[in-house]
Amino acid sequence: MKKFLISFGGLLIILGAAGIVNHLSMTIKAVQEEQNMYGDSVHFMMIQLFSTIGPYITCLIGGGIILAMAAFLNEYQKRSEITTQLIQALSEQRIAPPKQETKESLTKHEDHQITNSTDTTSKKDTSIGYEDERFYWNG
């Protein structure tokens, strides 16, 4: 589908650009011939002939919009694939059991927490005056 949109949008842009170039060359030739026959009313003739350039500009704009849609679809597909991979990784992470810590690391971690908590409680106890007050970590 994206390849079709890209090729169709590119075709419209090429046709629009070729049509504009062709129309401009025909307009310039026609104006030069009419100027030789009728005289100096070149500006009025140019305005009349340039007003018929609308379909070519429409082809250019339409091709650009179609190419933009194709680019959006391409990026949306990439985003969907990344989201799917993220969901799979998160579901695998939730299913996998958590790592079990060894006894040594647990005791070291507990010792570190105890020393930190005694340091903070002793500092706070002296300032407040309460000895058995429980203090919680405020993260």
State pLDDT tens for residues 8-19. 999 999 999 999
Residue that wins the pLDDT comparison between 35 and 90: 90
Predicted local confidence at residue 49, as pLDDT: 72
Strand (E) or helix (H) holding 139: none
- The CA–CA distances, whole Å, from 124 to 27, 110, 119, 132 equal 92, 21, 9, 11
Average pLDDT of span 34-45:
74
Q: What is the pTM of this model?
A: 0.56
Give the per-residue pLDDT at 38.
74
Residues present in the chain in total: 139
User: Is 139 buried (19+), middle (13-18) or exposed (0-12) by CB count in 10 A?
Assistant: exposed
Residue 73 has pLDDT above 80, yes or no: yes
pLDDT class of 125 with cuts at 50, 70, 90? very low
Nearest to 18 by CA among 48, 54, 56: 56
Q: To the nearest whole number, what is the mean pLDDT of the chain?
A: 77
Range with the lowest mean pLDDT among 30-34, 52-56, 123-127?
123-127
Mean pLDDT within 6-32 = 90
Burial 126-137 (b: 16+ CB within 10 A, else e): eeeeeeeeeeee
Number of H helices, E strands in the chain: 4, 0
